[in-house]
Structure 1
Amino acid sequence: MIYEVKIKKPDGSLKEVISSDRLEKMYWETFYQNENNIGLVTTPKSQVPTWVKQRLDLNYPDSVNSGS
């Protein structure tokens, strides 16, 4: 169950009231949008940070040229 939300201004006065129906609609729109963005492969290939690659290239220059 989602309850209505009251948003207040810094001075304490009421700025906006968001109804539970509107919050529920916002929640489900976001939920379905996120579901549609999920692909078959959910874990992307991790990339090596540039500074790590540069340091490895300096320490092991032969392994880069040999193709290993």
Structure 2
Amino acid sequence: MKNPTPLEKFVDNKKHWEEKHIQLAQLCQLRLIHEKLERNRSNTSTLVWWLIAIPIIAAILLFMSALGAISI
């Protein structure tokens, strides 16, 4: 016997459910996915600041300091 796919497992598991309950289960799943994606977006934004923006700002300040435009 082959292993059932996740879709087959879902259909077999929810066969006796009403349409309303299936839609609520799908909505909950979508909410969880959305929360994970939002955390991923937030973490990506933080990484951009730490790995790209802050070194560029530091390089500009060092360059201006080397030219004597500002004193650090």
Length-normalised TM-score, structure 2: 0.34
Higher strand proportion (structure 1 or 2):
1
Higher helix proportion (structure 1 or 2):
2
Question: 1 or 2 for the larger relative contact order (CA 8 Å, sep ≥6)?
Answer: 1
Length-normalised TM-score, structure 1: 0.35
